[in-house]
Amino acid sequence: MCNDRTDIFLAGDSTMCFYTADRAPLTGWGMMLPRFCRENVRVHNHAQGGYSTKSFQRSGWFDRLLNELRPGDHVVIQFGHNDKHPADYRPLAHTEIDEFSENLRRWISLVRELGAVPTLSTTTIEWAENGLDKTAPLLAKYNAALLDVARECGADAVDLNSYAYSELSKLPMAEIHQYHMATSGLEDKADDFCHLKNNGAELYASYFVELCRRQNIAISTCFK
């Protein structure tokens, strides 16, 4: 249950993380989550751009998160975008699916040992100009592995990726683009159909909250 000592901690990548004002309109959906929370709930965004489960663990970020946890807190875990990168392209981020799954199992256990509640989430969508990005089938394998681990461990999980796709695919691509940095007007982001602008981040945060409410999972009591 949420009370005046309950916080939400976020562990994820660039699609979730915090950005300073000079990076606007680039926005992680975790930045928008507080808008949906009750007044007595605080959100601590530990998500880091470019990180996978492997690099988030090895860099010490997950340990820092654990050090701040108190019984009754919630931890939202969303990874996969960077774990899927080939070893010859991003060796520090690349994580084989077996290792990815084991990292999640370990984190679920550690969070629970501290009396907090883990919630796993599949990723945001990686689009291309005219549809899904070519790496979507590979990302889907990591999202499936995350959901498998959640079921195996009896942990709460939401399939944000599938829900977002079911909703966004109803729209014309030009409208979908309006949520992403490709339409930010920044020349170096003209092909970025993955990272979100403010409106896209708010949309994904609303999707996450809606799924939590529909499933009536523990973290849903934190939302208005």
- Could you give the 3-state DSSP secondary structure of residue 75? strand
Record the tokens describing residue 98, joined without a space. Answer: 């077996």
Q: Report whether pLDDT(2) > 60.
A: no
Written as one string, the DSSP assignment of 189-224 is GTT--SSB-HHHHHHHHHHHHHHHHHHT-GGGGGB-
Q: pLDDT value at position 4?
A: 73
Beta strands in 48-141 (DSSP E): 74-77, 117-121, 127-128, 131-132
The whole-number average pLDDT for the span 106-120 is: 98
CB atoms near residue 212 (< 10 Å): 24
The whole-number average pLDDT for the span 15-37 is: 98
Question: Per-residue confidence at 44, pLDDT binned at 50, 70, 90?
Answer: very high
Question: Per-residue confidence at 6, pLDDT binned at 50, 70, 90?
Answer: confident
The domain spans of the chain are 7-222
Q: Report whether pLDDT(16) > 50.
A: yes
- How far does CA 16 lie from the centroid of its chain? 5
Q: pLDDT value at position 5?
A: 72
The whole-number average pLDDT for the span 145-172 is: 98
The whole-number average pLDDT for the span 137-142 is: 98
For the 7-222 domain, the top CATH level (class) is: alpha beta
Q: Are 197 and 182 in contact (CB under 8 A)?
A: no
- Mean pLDDT computed over every residue of the chain: 97
Record the tokens describing residue 110, joined without a space. Answer: 């550690």
Query: Would you mind telling me the total number of residues written for the chain in this entry?
Result: 224
Q: What is the pLDDT of residues 54-95, one digit of tens each?
A: 999 999 999 999 999 999 999 999 999 999 999 999 999 999
Phi, psi of 91 (to 5 degrees): -60, -30
Residue whose tokens read 């409410």 = 213
Q: Report whether pLDDT(1) > 50.
A: no
- Could you give the 3-state DSSP secondary structure of residue 66? helix
Q: Report whether pLDDT(168) > 90.
A: yes
Beta strands in the chain (DSSP E): 7-11, 42-45, 74-77, 117-121, 127-128, 131-132, 156-158
Record the tokens describing residue 148, joined without a space. Answer: 């498998």
pLDDT above 90 covers a percentage of the chain that reads 97
End-to-end Cα, the chain, rounded Å:
13
Question: Per-residue confidence at 221, pLDDT binned at 50, 70, 90?
Answer: very high
The whole-number average pLDDT for the span 10-26 is: 98
CA distances from 191 to 109, 128, 133, 183, 195 (A): 39, 8, 11, 9, 10
